[in-house]
Amino acid sequence: MRGMVPEDVFELAGVADPRVSPDGRTVAFSVARVDGKANEYRAAIWLAPMDGSSKPRQFTSGTKRDADPRWSPDGSTLAFTSNREGESSQLYLMPVAGGEPRKLTSLDEDVNEVVWSPDGSTIAFVSRVRDPAYKEKDDKKREPRRFTRLKYKLEHVGWTGDRPQHLFTLKADGSGEPVQLTSGDFEDSGPRWSPDGKTIAFLSARHPDWDTDHVSDVYLIEAKGGEPTRLTQGGGGFDGISWSPDGGRLAAGRYPGEWDDPKHTQIGVVDAGSGEVRLLTESLDRNCSPYPQIREPIWDGDDIVFAVEDRGNTHVYRVASDGSGKPELAVGGERTVTGYDVAGGRLVCSATEPTSLSELYIDERQVTEVGKGFAEGRQLVPAERFTATSADGTEVEAWVMKPVGFEPGVKYPALLNIHGGPFTQYGNRFFDEFQVFCGGGYAVVFSNPRGSSGYSEEWGRAIRGPGDAGPGWGSVDYEDCMAVIEEAVRRFDFIDGERLGVIGGSYGGYMTSWIVGHTDRFKAGISERAVNQWVSMWGSSDFGWDFKGYFGKFLFEDVQAYLDISPATYAQNVHTPLLILHSENDLRCPIEQAEQLFTTLRLLKREVEMVRFPEESHELTRSGNPVHRVQRFRIVLEWFDRHLK
């Protein structure tokens, strides 16, 4: 049986965002698929009985992207978002008993973060509000953009300074137009109704000069409108909130500290009167906000349920909200949870493993089989965990995957894969990258070097600097990556140590560019959406300046430090054939990062190629146009085949 090939991207599917009905009898969830012919993503809402009395059934048409199912408090209606009538996703309501969906909004921008009021009469959501200049469709006549805030653009979103995100409410019976609750040049998100329906809590940054730091707070606003009030008092950030059943507290994801990255996001409770925050998860010494974020911490009686990154897995934990006990594992295993909900002590989740797409589980019972056909139609390769010892004696967790068609006694080329972040993790989940490489005849090696999440906070902070804060990027993380590939060559006799390649994106692209500038160990490399020159990245990226949290200083305070950790500084040492992949609409690591390294290497007459993807962002490999994702896979395999086979 063949392995995964690039065109199989068109066959990918998965379950996400499970939500249990108020009576605890039904779970709604989304099933996403790829439409190769239309070069688009599709999604439908499905329903499944909690008791397993019947099979899951499709609820919405799924002809476009139907997502974000949200139950009305009485369980009779599902709200969801869909782009079925245009480019932007709007709000729809549909009776659970059946019938036609009713469209409630016709806004210029997407409707997101839909939440019902406790009495079911009103729905809150967020959407972006365009400057009047957007009414001019001809860019040759359009008024110029004028910005006074640093946070004027955002990766995968575009311009934000002239289309900020705000809170809206809307009568659920459709009797009126959406009412904009918040305004100003702020970014508001995460609305949550208080149990009595009188107040909406949300996340924002509205202090003076909010755009020059990464402090965010919990704000409160009356549901009928008015001026928001700041509940918490800075000193870090929040990334998810939910009210306690009695309305006296809010569960929250709390990122402690400012200009002190990375830190573990902790789960805490916020007093709804004083704003005082009490952390509940410090004993875990794990990051309680997986990337990408799954959802906010939620209440189950007096407990709070939340997600945790742990050694390549994403698990679900619960903790007593009064701080009376330590967090306890609720969903574990060698897997990655992609969504969860809980009702009456019963937990549902969506989860993925290295050889299976994301499926729905109720009390650990698998309910869906959306990926069954995909798994049965091709050979998917499991991952084997191993440990390498770095130069200073530190042990590093890593994984290896054998090529499809593996035969004992045969040696195969191997690819060292390096994740982005750096404060993210590789691990136990289905990853199309690895399966395509294995299907192409390569052994795959990947790891979580120092700087990764999923381990102790000390592990994540090991590459701060350079300077007093630590050794900086390209130090012990480089040593860890090299130790992993050398240990793989030593331990697994099927890996050909003379045919090694290295590939990574974002921080992984940075590390690839760094590696080929510091060793000739690899026969070929691919650097994707990388940071190559920190000096220009500092001002051209949507958030380049915020790396003071890692480095300890702004660029203008220590230019030399930024040069010292820039791969472009060492480009003269690059002799490894290098393919540079980048997206032309990347706002996180702008295209000039690729151009700088390509220009230098070409002038040095080194073997280098640059591939530019039009109309794509930093998210190309994850959510880019399906056709471009397939084209990218073909280019990657062709490059490595040329140099390693």
Domain ranges of the chain: 384-644
Instruction: Please answer whether residues 352 and 366 qualify as being in contact, where contact means their C-beta atoms are separated by less than 8 angstroms.
Output: no
Q: Which residues, including other chains, have CB under 8 Å from residue 285's CB and lie 6 or more apart? A: 264, 456, 457
Which residues face 267 on adjacent strands? 253
Instruction: Please answer whether residues 529 and 505 qualify as being in contact, where contact means their C-beta atoms are separated by less than 8 angstroms.
Output: yes
Encode pLDDT of 586-606 as tens digits. 999 999 999 999 999 999 999
Q: Report the alpha-carbon distance of residue 112 to residue 115 in Å, rounded.
A: 9
Decide: residue 295, CB within 10 A, 0-12 exposed, 13-18 middle, 19+ buried: middle
Q: Report the alpha-carbon distance of residue 429 to residue 419 in Å, rounded.
A: 13
The alpha carbon of residue 522 and the mean position of all alpha carbons in its chain are separated, in whole angstroms, by 29
Tokens of 561: 């430090």
pLDDT of the residue at 345: 81
Nearest to 444, CA basis, from 460, 426, 422 = 426
As annotated, the active-site residues are: 506, 618
Rounded average pLDDT over 634-644: 98
pLDDT of the residue at 285: 98
Q: Side-chain half-sphere of 32: how many Cα atoms within 13 Å?
A: 19
Rounded average pLDDT over 299-306: 97
Instruction: Please answer whether residues 478 and 511 qualify as being in contact, where contact means their C-beta atoms are separated by less than 8 angstroms.
Output: yes
pLDDT of the residue at 253: 98
| R_g of the chain, CA atoms, integer Å | 25
The alpha carbon of residue 79 and the mean position of all alpha carbons in its chain are separated, in whole angstroms, by 24
Encode pLDDT of 465-502 as tens digits. 999 999 999 999 999 999 999 999 999 999 999 999 99
Q: Report the alpha-carbon distance of residue 539 to residue 361 in Å, rounded.
A: 45
Domain 384-644 fold? Rossmann fold (3.40.50)
Strand 578-583 and strand 608-613: the pairing is: parallel
pLDDT confidence bin for 344, thresholds 50/70/90: confident
Q: Side-chain half-sphere of 141: how many Cα atoms within 13 Å?
A: 5
Tokens of 412: 């195969």
Rounded average pLDDT over 326-353: 96
Q: Report the alpha-carbon distance of residue 450 to residue 397 in Å, rounded.
A: 10
Average pLDDT, the chain: 97
Encode pLDDT of 172-195 as tens digits. 999 999 999 999 999 999 999 999
pLDDT of the residue at 282: 97
Tell me which residue has tokens 């990337």. Answer: 291
Label residues 486-507 b or e (16+ Cβ within 10 Å = b): ebbbeebebbbeebbbbbbbbb
